[in-house]
């Protein structure tokens, strides 16, 4: 398999439920998120140009991030789930896997040292 990745960024706030009241993530707080999309294809599935997918075709994902998530409160945006990095990665995969059939994983980072990955 061949894999490509592209990083995207947005800033947002959230508060996580089901945590002790004194847990730092139970309080309203924000992050500068990084989202990494991974797309995969077998060598015989590459485009005639030799791409898994043209990176320029991921511009719609960036527009969606900017319109739907950037500078928003994620508890109000992400339906029916606690907006942890894990849930965000899974939700983004669900939202985009039909539009990007090569999508093989979504990674979400809340800090430079932490990542959550959804890989079906």
The two structure tokens encoding residue 21 = 């009241």
Q: Active site includes 110? A: yes
Q: Active site includes 71? A: yes
CA distances from 108 to 22, 36, 47, 99 (A): 25, 6, 27, 19
Catalytic residue among 25, 31, 86, 117, which?
25
Place of tokens 């439920």: 17
Catalytic residue among 23, 57, 68, 71, which?
71
Q: Active site includes 14? A: no
* 68-72 long-range Cβ contacts below 8 angstroms, 24+ apart: 69/10, 69/12, 69/33, 70/10, 70/11, 70/12, 71/10, 71/11, 71/12, 72/12, 72/13
Active-site residue numbers? 25, 71, 110
């Amino acid at each position: 398999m061949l894999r490509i990745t592209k990083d995207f960024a947005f800033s947002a706030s959230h508060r996580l439920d089901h945590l002790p009241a004194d847990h730092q993530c139970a309080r309203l707080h924000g992050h500068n998120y990084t989202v990494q999309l991974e797309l995969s294809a077998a060598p015989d599935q590459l485009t005639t140009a030799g791409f898994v997918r043209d990176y320029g075709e991921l511009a719609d994902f960036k527009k969606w991030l900017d319109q739907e998530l950037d500078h928003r409160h994620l508890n109000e945006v992400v339906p029916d789930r606690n907006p942890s990095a894990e849930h965000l990665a899974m939700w983004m995969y669900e939202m985009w896997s039909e539009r990007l059939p090569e999508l093989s994983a979504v990674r979400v980072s809340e800090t430079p040292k932490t990542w959550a990955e959804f890989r079906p």
